[in-house]
């Protein structure tokens, strides 16, 4: 990975819809080498996918909840069953296996408190092995970014 690959990645993280000509101009390459590099980054799995980021309030998603979930036991089969159940729920937009006082941290988005109540009662509490759920409601989103910092890469820009 060199400075051009890093510039490509930085630019695509901020505008995944940039045309190859626009991207090439922004990173200082001609279009053909730029496209070749993008395809190589995709093939290598560095670029995982392209998405459209939606404004939650514009699609009726008004509540963001962080749920700390503890399981009855931390055995592999139970962990896998819980993770499979969580992956099946579109309300869960992030899920992390954690160290510390709880086993999982989930970020859940729903239209309102009633929808969250229904989600917990009908789905989350019934997921395999769930022993405890602690919910924290986000009052305000101070920062949100999908762009990964690339400053640590030993590549001059």
Every domain of the chain and the residues it spans? 3-43, 56-137
Give buried/exposed letters for 55-89 (b at 16+ CB in 10 A, else e). Answer: ebeeeebebbbebbbbbeeeeeebbeebeebbeee
Average pLDDT of the chain?
95
Inform me whether the pLDDT recorded for 69 exceeds 70.
yes
Region 3-43: CATH code: 1.10.10.10
Return the pLDDT at 109.
98
Which phi-psi region, left, alpha or beta, contains residue 100 (left: φ > 0; alpha: ψ -120 to 50)?
Answer: left
pLDDT in tens, 75-129: 999 999 999 999 999 999 999 999 999 999 999 999 999 999 999 999 999 999 9
Return the pLDDT at 155.
58
Which phi-psi region, left, alpha or beta, contains residue 17 (left: φ > 0; alpha: ψ -120 to 50)?
Answer: alpha
Return the pLDDT at 153.
84
User: 56-137 adopts what CATH topology?
Assistant: Alpha-Beta Plaits (3.30.70)
Return the pLDDT at 152.
87
């Amino acid at each position: 990975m060199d400075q051009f690959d890093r510039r490509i990645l930085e630019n695509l993280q901020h505008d995944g819809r940039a045309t190859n000509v626009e991207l090439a101009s922004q990173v200082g390459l001609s279009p053909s080498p730029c496209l070749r590099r993008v395809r190589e980054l995709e093939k290598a799995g560095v670029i995982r996918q392209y998405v459209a980021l939606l404004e939650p309030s514009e699609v009726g998603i008004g509540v963001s909840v962080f749920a700390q979930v503890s399981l009855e036991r931390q055995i592999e089969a139970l962990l896998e069953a819980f993770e499979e159940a969580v992956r099946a729920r579109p309300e869960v937009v992030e899920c992390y296996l954690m160290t510390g006082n709880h086993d999982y941290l989930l970020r859940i988005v729903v239209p309102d408190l009633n929808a969250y109540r229904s989600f917990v009662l009908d789905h989350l509490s019934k997921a395999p092995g769930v022993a405890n759920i602690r919910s924290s409601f986000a009052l305000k989103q101070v920062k949100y970014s999908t762009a990964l910092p690339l400053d640590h890469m030993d590549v001059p820009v």
